[in-house]
Chain A
Amino acid sequence: MKISLNWLKKYVKIDVSDEDLIKLIGARLVEVEGVIDENAKYNNIYIVQVKSCEKIPDTHLTLCQIDVGIKDVAGVEKSDSGLVQVVCGAPNVREGMLAVWIAPGAIVPASVHEDAPFVIGKRKMRGYESNGMLAGADELDFGDDYSGIVEIDPATASAGDLLADVFELKDLILEIENKSLTHRPDCFGLIGLAREVAGILGVRFNEPDFSSSELDFLKTPYAGQLPLSVDIADSSICSRYTAIVLEKHGEIKKKYLTWQDTILSKSGMRPIDPIVDATNYLMLLTGQPLHAFDYDKFVAVSGASRPRIVVRLAREGEKLILLDGKDVVLQCNDIVITSNDVPVALAGAMGGASTEIDENTHKIILESATFSLYNLRKTQMAHGIFSEAITRFTKGQPACQTMMVAEKCAEMLSGGFKIVGGVDEYPEPEKRNVVKVTVFEINVLLGTKYSKDLIIKTLENVGFEIKTIERTRQKEQEKLSAKNNDGINKNDSELEIVVPAWRTDIHIKEDVIEEVGRLLGYENIVPTLPSHGTAVKNEMLELKTSTRDILKSYGANELLTYSFVSERLLTLAKQDAKNSYRIINSISPELQYVRQSIVPSLLEKAYLNQKLPVDNFALFEMNKVYQKEWGMDKEGVPVERTNLGFVVAERKTSGTAFYKAKMFVERYLAENNILAKFVPLKEKSAWAEPFEPKRSAEILVDDECIGVVGEFKNSVRHNFKLAEYLAGFELDLEKVLKYARSHRDIKISKEHESRDITIKTHSTYGEVVEAVEKILAEEKLVAKITPIAIYQPKDVKHISLHLEFDTKINEEIMHKLESFTK
């Protein structure tokens, strides 16, 4: 939304600098996204009088002598009679008219924001010297009209005046972020904004007096002269509908450039014709959109003899051709204006083609109404209509001003139209909200010490009406007050606040407290620190932090990948998409399913990194996973698990990757003082699916499976186009946390001895170690056993182990160990 500061200043007296004002607006009302400085936009552009016109033969051009009204203009030669020569191509140039002259050296205003602004010069056209140009509305940035040059009303200006002075064009335009006003329909009109600015500056806002209008049509004799009825099918879709019928009694000839044209342009709209301009101007001023129907077309559409406006929900499948020519199929949430049940307009969004006003329009129906913002939101989305009108309606315009604005519009058009009838249908007039709050409550929530008088004045400045009831504070509040040492006097005042009709957003005391805090400036609240207790630690978070550090120290890289995956990825990893929660409004098929485990996402990223290429790497991620088969938790939301996924991949290595992944997970678990057992993979759950059962293991602690480690199925590896040396693991971190110990038992031995042995065997490594431990146990010995190597020249494996004892041992036991073969 664009706001002209000059226009704003017409409604509120501002005694701070523009810079300070913009800062205050930003801090206390709304986000100002940008400021467009138009102070220099109309430099060297003058009102001039055309003194003589002479057609240049064989061209559409006219040679004009103009009175520029000022003595000297740099670089311009005047004739002996003191006039300046300009060549003009416009058909409407004529002797005696007041026109707008862009002097040589000035920039064409419509081009000031372009990369290369267009500078007007002195040049020869068809052999005639032309000094600058006479400007059309399009060149001045006041619309798209390029049919002729702009004419100025002699009653408002004379030759030599600066255009910028006559129309107050030295201006700053504020660009307001609409989203920050979602809850403030009143601020979508200039008056509402001006009221807030008054409040921010601490002055009382003078409500512009619309009601002084002489055209109070319901009380005047012409009311009801022309039959017109309004039926609202359901007041929840349309709370109020005001309609005025206007009849033409003369031409509103648009001849001169007006101040209103400049306001429409500065606000980002365009002057079009007198009726549309009046409705647009009033919408910008009050926030209330208006619409004009051609009365005779409206009646003709229905086939009835008298006009009957029916506001109702559309019926599924009904059709309507809109003003922009689009043929739309209506949906059951759309509100339609109908002529005796025949749809003629999509309420709040756009009028229909069948009742469009044109140059032959004799009577118009002027609509000023409010519609359900909920329905209009859906209409907006369904039909993709983002007009200025619907932007305002979808904030929930208050019903209080429909009639007032319609009357004002009729008044503005009174030069060509007179009122011949009208209806105001307002089935359930809105009641004004009343909120009670005490001065104490306001100060307690804000942490301030504002006086009763200041609070009342602040609220009254923006239209709240307040009754004060004195009373003493309750005991509880006394205690609090003593604690805060707030210094407010003992007696508290209760404020009974009548909320202005346009503030449909204020219902409870906190809403009022916000108004006080905001208008007086949150920057005046002193930041303090509460004293409170200590925090408890979050063990899962600590585990994740330490996991990060441990795996990083092993040279692994932490990744984050999306929680949503494609059906393709699930299939590649052999997981069943039916076990994944499916997103119905996903951005793309790539992000359609909630992932069941972490490893598949890592395999996808492993491919990306092998292509970079990085030869050797280990990737890990800790994140939440969900599977449908886990069902719901106590709260009725899906069971959630936090998994650690890990993948190691090497491009140019041959060998058995399984042992690499196993070593990583074993060391990681050992850091958490977890001693795990590796048993053949029997798990049939989703996270085990990508793993090759013959080359993978379940990770057991106390017979509970806490994870899976291994190589992947060949098909999976092929699917992800990865090199052969590839393995990984996935751990359930809740279970890791369950078994993790902060420390292990230590035993500081006084003497120790270590031996290496080699055992020839057909057994597995695990069986050998178990056997060794058993033999040692028989001797009441304990050793730390670590592998040295496994050598297998033919059938028999040679397993070499390193044994560390915490005591001296005798040779006998070593013989026993060495002589044993399994």
Chain B
Amino acid sequence: MVELDRLKLELKNLNTEYAKIREIAPEKRAEFGRKINAQKQDILERIKMAEQAMLDVEVEPLDITAPCAPNEELPQVYSVFDGSRHPLMTELDRVVEIYQLMGFDVVESRQLDDEYHMFDSLNFAKEHPARDGYDTFRTEEDLIPPAHTSTMQHRVLKANRKKLEQGKEIAVVVPGRVFRNEDVDATHEHTFYQCEGVYVSRDCNMGQMLGILREFFEKYYGQKLEIRTQPGYFPFTEPSLEFLIEKPKTLGGKKGDFLEMLGCGMIHPNVLKMAGIDPKEYHGFAWGGGIDRLVMLKYGLDDVRYFESGNLNFLKEFK
């Protein structure tokens, strides 16, 4: 309190001082004005801080061990009908659950990673234009908020390579939040969710990759589905494909409608090698696709910006 009074007095004095500007030679006025103004800003800032501090001074302590304050009712939770789960998380849980039923372990993706995991270990050549395509954010320390869940691939391969030696296979899915330096509009978000899959064994092949992906989407949509592929390009898979499914009936699909669901391919031998797996002995495949789109299709949403809006009018629809 005393501090605040002192500051206010100081401000008053400063204003008085400023009035003297008329007595100063015209050519020196500008400098004088600047000096006084700087001091004034400094005092105003300190007043603001003092006022903030004062807000926090006169606070009544309370009995933190009690269940309620004296003479108040015991607090209650809200009605179960008011509660909601975020639709992206509900969908991610569902996706992961199906993969788990299909025998896949789950490893969550990091949200801050390095160049090595994001690019180098995935066979992106140094300075390769493909790196630009991912529009990554970077921190001062050159860390990267990952632009794809593949950032975990190297870790997953390394952590599980013992399994291969034991004659088992690596089967892991990696859900997680990823980031792209993109302007936000109805169909683009800089923050979104993906789910990655990695499978390595002695005898796996592209037919198995297509089989697993078709099985997943058939379970997810609860119907038999036609699948289709298109050639794709990713530095970390060879061959690389885009994977499409027939638009399911629940989404109003008609004959001949197809949806692009994810990118996939056989893991590039360099990626296996870097994780200490001999590409002559073992093959693998990997895939990755977005979760946001699944939710948008499911509910017919036309604006991706709802997801991170925190708006209860939207969220409470997902009970």
Contacts and interface: CB of A to CB of B under 8 A. Distances in A.
B214 interface: yes
Contacts of A718: 52, 55
Nearest to A531: B103
Rank and list the top 9 A-B pairs by shortest CB-CB distance, nearest first: A555-B78, A447-B207, A766-B65, A514-B239, A605-B310, A447-B205, A792-B70, A552-B83, A765-B66
Given A530-B211, A548-B85, A556-B82, 18 more contacts: A374-B129, A444-B283, A523-B229, A525-B207, A527-B214, A530-B169, A530-B201, A533-B171, A538-B105, A556-B83, A564-B179, A564-B191, A587-B182, A637-B112, A659-B66, A696-B64, A715-B55, A766-B66
Interface string A507-539: 010110110011000110111111011111110
B301 interface: no
A555 B268 contact: no
A664 B82 CA distance: 15
Interface in A555-614: 555-564, 581-587, 591, 594, 602, 604-605, 608-609, 612, 614
Contacts of A582: 139-140
Contacts of A304: none
Contacts of B120: none
Contact of B230 (A26, A508, A529, A659): A26
B46 interface: no
B23 interface: no
A180 B231 contact: yes
A527 B227 contact: yes
B25 interface: no
Interface in A445-497: 445-448, 480, 483-484
Interface stretch (A8-16, A71-79, A615-623): A615-623
Nearest to A638: B112
Given A484-B203, A541-B106, A656-B62, A529 B215 contact: yes
Contacts of B82: 555-557, 617
B69 A659 contact: yes
Interface of A: 26-31, 179-183, 373-374, 377, 381, 394, 444-448, 480, 483-484, 508, 510-511, 513-514, 517-518, 522-523, 525-530, 532-538, 540-541, 544-545, 548-549, 551-564, 581-587, 591, 594, 602, 604-605, 608-609, 612, 614, 616-619, 623-624, 626, 635-638, 640, 655-656, 658-660, 662-664, 667, 678-680, 692, 694-697, 710, 713-715, 718, 764-767, 769, 787-792, 797
B283 A445 contact: yes
Contacts of B21: none
B201 A558 contact: no
B228 interface: yes
Contacts of A581: 112, 139-141, 143
Given A541-B106, A581-B141, A718-B55, A787 B74 contact: yes
B228 A559 contact: no
Of A523, A564, A583, A678, chain B has the most CB atoms within 10 Å of the CB of A583
B152 to A, nearest CB: 11
A769 to B, nearest CB: 8
A532 B103 contact: yes
B86 to A, nearest CB: 4
Interface residues of B, number: 116
B216 to A, nearest CB: 11
B261 interface: no
Contact of A637 (B110, B138, B231): B110
Nearest to A633: B110
Interface in B117-154: 117, 127-130, 132-133, 137-141, 143, 145
Contact of B71 (A26, A484, A714, A792): A792
5 contacts: A180-B230, A548-B85, A560-B308, A623-B177, A694-B60
A131 B204 CA distance: 71
B307 interface: yes
B75 A659 contact: yes
A534 B103 contact: yes
Contacts of B231: 28-30, 180, 518
B315 interface: yes
Interface of B: 52-53, 55-56, 59-86, 88-90, 93, 96, 99-100, 103-108, 110-114, 117, 127-130, 132-133, 137-141, 143, 145, 155, 168-169, 171, 177, 179, 181-184, 190-191, 199, 201-208, 210-215, 227-233, 238-242, 266, 268-269, 283, 307-308, 310-313, 315-316, 319
A532 B198 CA distance: 14
Contact of A183 (B56, B79, B233, B313): B233
Contact of B145 (A538, A594, A765): A594
Contacts of B113: 637
Nearest to A443: B205
B287 to A, nearest CB: 13
Contacts of B59: 692, 694-695, 714
A564 B283 CA distance: 38
A558 B240 CA distance: 37
A522 B229 contact: yes
Contacts of A605: 310
Contacts of A483: 203
B143 A522 contact: no
A445 B169 contact: no
B61 A695 contact: yes
A389 B70 CA distance: 78
B211 A528 contact: yes
Of B83, B112, B231, chain A has the most CB atoms within 10 Å of the CB of B231
A28 B103 CA distance: 31
B84 A557 contact: yes
Contact of B56 (A535, A557, A713): A713
A640 B207 contact: no
A612 B139 contact: no
A623 B191 CA distance: 13
A612 B230 CA distance: 46
B65 A764 contact: yes
A655 B76 CA distance: 13
Contacts of A448: 207
Contacts of A585: 137-138, 181
B89 A558 contact: yes
Given A180-B232, A514-B240, A637-B110, A558 B85 contact: yes
B186 to A, nearest CB: 16
B165 to A, nearest CB: 14
A587 B181 contact: yes
A31 B242 contact: yes
A778 B113 CA distance: 56
A765 B310 contact: no
Given A373-B129, A585-B137, A714-B56, A638 B64 contact: no
Nearest to B210: A527
Contacts of A30: 230-231
